[in-house]
Structure 1
Amino acid sequence: MTTPDTQPAEKTTDRTEKLLQNGLSAHILPASATMIGVCMTVLSIGHLGPGSELHMLVDKVLAVDALVFLASALLSFMSMRTQRFANKFEARAELVFITGLGLLALVAVVLAFAIT
């Protein structure tokens, strides 16, 4: 007999496995959404200064980077919603997210050297 405070071991184990399985995705999804906002903010701030070919290139890379973060968020969401391919989606979401971070870091370095 179980008390209202406790749950049967079977249900607890299933929930624990689900949380462990989707642990990374639960972090990637909000972080990706935040990084889309960062890309949009940098795009908006970039339009305040004088335009140049370098700024146009940075704008295009930031727009693509926002799409990379969107893909990461979608893969992360799909990993939380599916059971069969959850690990595969989560691994891809992680890889795409890291790619987006690398691209954003590259843009930051280019912007740092472009400012005169």
Structure 2
Amino acid sequence: MGKQRESVDLSGHILPTSATMVGVCVTAIGIIRLMHAGTVGFYVDKLLAIDSVLFVICSAFSFYSARNTQRSAQLENIAESIFLAGLTLLGIASVFMTFKVG
């Protein structure tokens, strides 16, 4: 029971955070388009769009993890992995944006 409770608590953190990260990605795409960042901006906004989709998928897995008690741990592990991949892509995109602006 303790392990299941811990799993649901993590889903409770992943779900709202990944939904917020979708908004961060969409905002960054808008900023890049306003900057007219050229070739780098073209690739960064595509990367952020993919990243946004990853965070939406992560949100779905996290939601289903909170709802499905039998497979909660498995679904949460998937959500966690996708979330970390999304954060990694967001970090890469921010590095490219920094070099373009600087």
TM bracket (short chain): over 0.9
- Secondary structure at 2:97's aligned position in 1? helix
Cross-structure match for 2:17: 31
Does 1:60 pair with 2:37?
Answer: no
Q: Gaps spanning 5+ residues in structure 1: where?
A: 1-13
- Check the 8 A contact 2:32/2:41 in 1, yes or no: yes
* 3-state DSSP of counterpart to 1:47: helix
Tell me the amino acid that sits aligned with residue 91 of structure 1.
Answer: N
Q: Read off the aligned partner of 1:105 and give its amino acid letter.
A: G
Relative contact order, CA 8 A, sep 6+: which one is greater?
A: 2
Aligned-pair identity in percent equals: 36
Secondary structure of 1:48 counterpart = helix
Whole-Å separation in 1 of the counterparts to 2:61 and 2:55? 10
Tell me the C-alpha RMSD between the 2 structures.
1.5
Larger radius of gyration: 1
User: When the two structures are superposed, what TM-score results if normalisation uses the length of structure 2?
Assistant: 0.92
Distance 2:7 2:35 in 1: 45
Give runs of ≥4 in structure 1 deviating > 2 Å.
Answer: 16-21
Number of the residue aligned with 1:94: 80
Is 1:48 aligned to residue 57 of structure 2? no
Residue 44 of structure 1 aligns to a residue whose secondary structure is helix
Indicate conservation of the 8 Å contact 2:55/2:83, yes or no. yes
- Give the TM-score, by structure 1 length: 0.82
Unpaired runs of 5+ residues, structure 2, are none
1:44 & 1:17 partners in 2: Cα distance?
Answer: 41
Higher helix share: 2
